[in-house]
Amino acid sequence: MTGGEIAVVILAASAGLLVILLGFPLVKLGKLLDQTAATVTTFNAEFEPILAEAKTTLAEANKQLKRVDNITKDVEQVTTNISSLVAVFTASVGGPLTKLFGVVQGVAKVFGKRR
């Protein structure tokens, strides 16, 4: 064996060792990717029911909000009606009562001065 052949053998052995040393981290990386894929698959399988339940909950919440909205509209109408009723009552009864009270007060002053 000549010196060149020995150098080629050493170079080939070094290249083989380098491939082996680089192969271990690549195998570990492959296992890590497999575990990550399994974790993602498990996460997706467990997350789908949660999303379905959240969708149902949101739909029920929207129904309740619509009910509350309808109740709010009804309360607003009742408030408007009561306000109108009070205005009509005040106009129909309040005006004459005010005049009557004024007359009674005037009569009381007149009779109060005579005593």
pLDDT tens sequence across 23-71: 898 999 999 999 999 999 999 999 999 999 999 999 999 999 999 999 9
Task: Write out the two tokens for 108.
Answer: 């009381």
Q: Is the pLDDT of residue 97 over 90?
A: no
Q: If pLDDT is split at 50, 70 and 90, which confidence band does 77 have?
A: very high
Whole-prediction pTM value?
Answer: 0.47
Measured CA distances, 32 to 38, 39, 43, 57, 70 (Å): 10, 10, 16, 37, 55
Share of the chain above pLDDT 90, in %: 57
Mean pLDDT, all residues of the chain: 90
